[in-house]
């Protein structure tokens, strides 16, 4: 499957490695070995990498900060992993901060704060990269990426160049962006900011940090909220799981956090399958008690059967 890749990597002098464990790149610390990892150095190279992989029919996936994914951990993964960490440029002009997909969101927020640009504070505690935040329409404290997003550079299958897209607010929703359905790769994004004193921004950041430290198990390995909050249920996902008596409940090395019931934490030896079983158990218990079917917020990557028939094999 990957035989042509070696030639392409040599020909284009792409930055690449083979047989790389991906668990350290995820906040859950779970995942197998990537047969290949490619690190494009700029927008043009990213387009060339993605276009070549797609054209050659080589399966690939983009991994950002790894803070919202659960990756299968049984041996070698069937995908080339594309990391956009090197797309790290940040600049500001006319009330807009432009950032590459690989910029960590907390760093972007601090960068803007130091220069007196506010509006991105809600991102400060979200441990993903710009590309992952846009793709997920991540949010916190009543704001989400869509509220500040003014332009996105994306690559979509079949394109020879990156395209600038103006976001349509109606196409975004709770942890939903139009890029998910189109299989777009986000390469760069523009965010609206407003002039504010660095002290005022810093005070907001401190308050947000205090709240997170108090309410979330930040010292544990997790992927943030395991489930989306139900739209009009009798409580948030965390409240329903807590009321179902599941705080501290374990499957193997995976546990419902005693501090915040919507966080599943890896207590040290959790496997992909422990986390999936715990997710299934929690949602079935919540269904039995409250007739609410929780939808996972964590992206569960699944191996598919050879020949294309879908369905988990792990
Ligand atoms: C402690 C903790 C707290 C968190 N708090 C919040 C919170 O308050 N609000 C919130 O919304 N989320 C939160 N999260 C979840 C997570 O940080 C966000 O979902 C974030 O947007 C994921 O970004 P990432 O770069 O880590 O994406 P990844 O986890 O690497 O990937 C997630 C998905 O996005 C895709 N993707 C990543 N980059 C790109 C790209 N450039 N182009 C196309 N697709 C891409 C991946 O293929 C994957 O399908 C939290 C997580 C943790 C661990």
Across the chain, the runs of DSSP E, i.e. the strands, are 16-21, 33-38, 60-63, 69-70, 80-83, 90-93, 96-100, 117-118, 139-140, 143-144, 149-155, 163-165, 185-192, 194-195, 221-225, 250-251, 254-256, 263-266, 299-300
Residue 129 beta carbon below 6 angstroms from any ligand 1 atom: yes
Q: What phi, psi does 208 have (nearest 5°)?
A: -65, -40
What pLDDT score does 304 carry? 72
Ligand 1 site, residue 106, Cβ cutoff 6 A:
no
Which pLDDT belongs to residue 308?
40
Tell how far the Cα of 3 is from the centroid of ligand 1, in angstroms. Answer: 31
Residues in the chain, how many? 314
- pLDDT tens for the chain, 314 residues: list them: 788 899 999 999 999 999 999 999 999 999 999 999 999 999 999 999 999 999 999 999 999 999 999 999 999 999 999 999 999 999 999 999 999 999 999 999 999 999 999 999 999 999 999 999 999 999 999 999 999 999 999 999 989 999 999 999 999 999 999 999 988 999 999 999 999 999 999 999 999 999 999 999 999 999 999 999 999 879 999 999 999 999 999 999 999 999 999 999 999 999 999 999 999 999 999 999 999 999 999 999 999 744 443 333 33
* Residue 141: closest CA among 123, 128, 118, 157: 123
Smallest CA-to-CA distance from 84 within 25, 10, 161 is with 25
145 pocket-lining for ligand 1 (C-beta < 6 Å) = no
Mutate to test the pocket of ligand 1, among 126, 144, 220, 221 (most ligand atoms within 8 A of CB): 126
Pairwise CA distance, residues 51 & 46, whole Å: 8
Nearest CA to ligand 1 atom 43: 185
Measured from the Cα of 175, ligand 1's closest atom is: 11
CB 294 within 8 Å of CB 237: yes
Q: How far is CA 243 from CA 216, 230, 234, in A?
A: 17, 15, 11
pLDDT at 3 (0 to 100): 80
> 233 C-alpha vs ligand 1 centroid, how far in Å?
25
Atom of ligand 1 nearest to the CA of 301: 49
Atom of ligand 1 nearest to the CA of 62: 47
- Distance, CA of 24 to CA of 36 (rounded, Å): 15
pLDDT for position 306: 44
Task: Tell me the CA–centroid distance for residue 15 and ligand 1, in Å.
Answer: 24
**Pocket test residue of 62, 68, 131 for ligand 1, highest count of atoms within 8 A of CB:** 68
Nearest CA to ligand 1 atom 50: 224
Q: Which domains does the chain have, with CATH numbers?
A: 3-83 (3.30.43.10), 90-200 (3.30.465.10), 217-300 (3.90.78.10)
Identify the pLDDT of residue 235: 95
Instruction: Spell out the long-range contacts of 78-81 with Cβ–Cβ below 8 A and sequence spacing 24 or more.
Output: 78/1, 78/35, 78/303, 78/304, 79/34, 79/35, 80/2, 80/5, 80/34, 80/35, 80/36, 80/37, 80/38, 80/53, 81/20, 81/22, 81/34, 81/36, 81/37, 81/38
Could you tell me if the CB of 229 is within 6 A of ligand 1? no
Collapsed DSSP state (helix, strand, coil) of residue 266: strand
| Pairing relationship of beta strands 185-192 and 149-155 according to DSSP bridges | antiparallel
Ligand 1 atom, smallest distance to 223 CA:
53
């Amino acid at each position: 499957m990957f035989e042509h890749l070696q030639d392409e990597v040599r020909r284009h002098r792409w930055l690449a490695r083979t047989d790389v464990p991906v668990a350290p790149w995820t906040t859950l610390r779970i995942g197998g070995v990537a047969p290949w990892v490619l690190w494009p150095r700029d927008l043009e190279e990213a387009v060339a990498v993605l276009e070549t992989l797609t054209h050659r029919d080589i399966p690939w996936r983009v991994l950002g900060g790894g803070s919202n994914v659960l990756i299968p951990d049984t041996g070698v993964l069937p995908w080339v992993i594309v990391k956009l960490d090197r797309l790290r440029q940040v600049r500001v002009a006319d009330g807009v901060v432009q950032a590459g997909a690989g910029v960590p969101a907390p760093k972007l927020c601090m960068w803007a704060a130091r220069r007196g640009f506010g509006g991105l504070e809600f991102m400060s505690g979200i441990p993903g990269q710009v590309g992952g935040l846009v793709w997920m329409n991540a949010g916190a404290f009543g704001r989400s990426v869509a509220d500040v997003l003014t332009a996105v550079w994306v690559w979509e299958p079949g394109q020879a160049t990156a395209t600038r897209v103006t976001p349509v607010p109606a196409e975004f929703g709770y942890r939903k962006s139009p890029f998910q359905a189109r299989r777009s790769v986000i390469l760069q994004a523009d965010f609206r900011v407003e002039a504010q004193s660095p002290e005022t921004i810093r005070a907001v950041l401190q308050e947000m940090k205090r709240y997170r430290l108090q309410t979330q198990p930040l010292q544990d390995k997790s992927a943030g909220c395991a489930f989306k909050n139900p739209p009009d249920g009798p409580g948030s996902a965390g409240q329903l799981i807590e009321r179902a008596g599941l705080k501290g409940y374990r499957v193997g090395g995976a546990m419902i956090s005693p501090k915040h019931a919507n966080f599943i934490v890896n207590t040290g030896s959790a496997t992909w399958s422990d986390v999936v079983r715990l997710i299934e158990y929690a949602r079935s218990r919540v269904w039995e008690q409250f007739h609410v079917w929780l939808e996972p917020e964590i992206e569960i990557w699944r191996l598919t059967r050879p020949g294309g028939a879908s369905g988990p094999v792990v």
